[in-house]
Copies of this chain bind each other. A is one copy, B any other.
Amino acid sequence: MNINRPLATMTAIAEALGVSAATVSNALSGKGRVSVDLAASIKAKAEEIGYVPSQAAKALRTGRSGVIGLVLPDISNPLFPQIAQAIEHAASAAGYAVLIGDSRGQIARQTEAIARLLERGVDGVIIIPRRGSRVVDIGAPVAIIDSPSTPGNTVSADHWEGGVQMGRYLASLGHRRVLLIGQSTTSNVQVDRLGGLKAGLGPDVRRETLWVERREAEIGAGQCLGLSAKVAEGFTAFAASSDLLALRVLTELQRSGIDVPRQASVSGFDDLVWSSVVTPQLTTMRQDLDLIARNAVAALGIGIGNKDTSVAAAPMAANGERIAMQLIVRQSTAAPVAVPEEIQKREESE
């Protein structure tokens, strides 16, 4: 395009204006002492020749790359696009670029992925750890987005409180028999969400918990979870710990000829992209990912500013910010139809 692009350096500006490179640097950064008119003409010249600072040189000199790493051990996580977008946005607002760190779904490679990022000279790392895996000290600023109940967590949605909200909402609709559905008990996030749900539903609501991973160990993966039987038992609401699970629940119920939400309500968590395209649209809890991302980046920024990287992680781990979740009511939840008498009786006698 332009032959002078590689020449668009500070020295080039300096030579063109007959000043020293240091002056150019000072003018552009506004740090040293430069007369206003010289600074103006330097900036004009920079603009004119299309000057773009060399990140490599800056990184070499300052020891900061202006890049942070983002590690998502479970990249198949459907929330990934939204998280990545939120982090990228927050990071670029803070002047950072984001490098992808992928551990290819294997927990063991999480450390390896982090190491690769560190070799690339990232100034810090944001990690969304896979279910319960611990992050070792890596000698660099780290922000962990997991769950408030995870030790070392830096910032995350308040999954418990989100569960409470959803639980209260379902109870307020009149549901008195709710099935809580989680994928795995090793996930702090899911445990929190279901725990919150129980608390929110209150003591007057009967509930049962279904852990899909455990059930699948018996019946085989991908099999029906036997939800229509639960409806027959009198369950009127199915609260899943994630939209993915909610989707599974929704389609299984529909397949069994159960009308959602008339005969059974279904709710999820995360507000994934498809939540609003399915019929009926899914009621769910949304995380404020933008806010979470901003906090994570901010926490990192503090750490990066720290000279001593080995202790930088300590002050950050202290905050453990928890971000409120937002209830998104759509079509998959409604008040239950009148409970059949025989079930109501049995329930009372129990």
Contact = CB atoms under 8 A, between A and B. Distances in A.
B76 A80 contact: no
Given A76-B273, A78-B273, A89-B102, A222 B70 contact: no
Number of copies: 2
Interface in A86-112: 88-89, 92, 97-100, 102, 104
A276 B216 CA distance: 14
A5 B119 CA distance: 12
Interface footprint category on A? 35 or more
A88 B59 contact: no
A334 to B, nearest CB: 14
Contacts of A99: 67, 97-100
A85 interface: yes
Most chain B CB within a 10 A radius of its CB, from A98, A102, A259: A102
- With a 10 A CB-CB cut-off, give which of A118, A251, A274 has the most chain B CB atoms: A251
A214 interface: no
A202 interface: no
Interface stretch (A153-161, A278-286, A319-327): A278-286
Given A75-B88, A76-B82, 9 more contacts: A52-B118, A60-B60, A67-B120, A76-B81, A81-B81, A84-B84, A89-B104, A92-B102, A274-B274
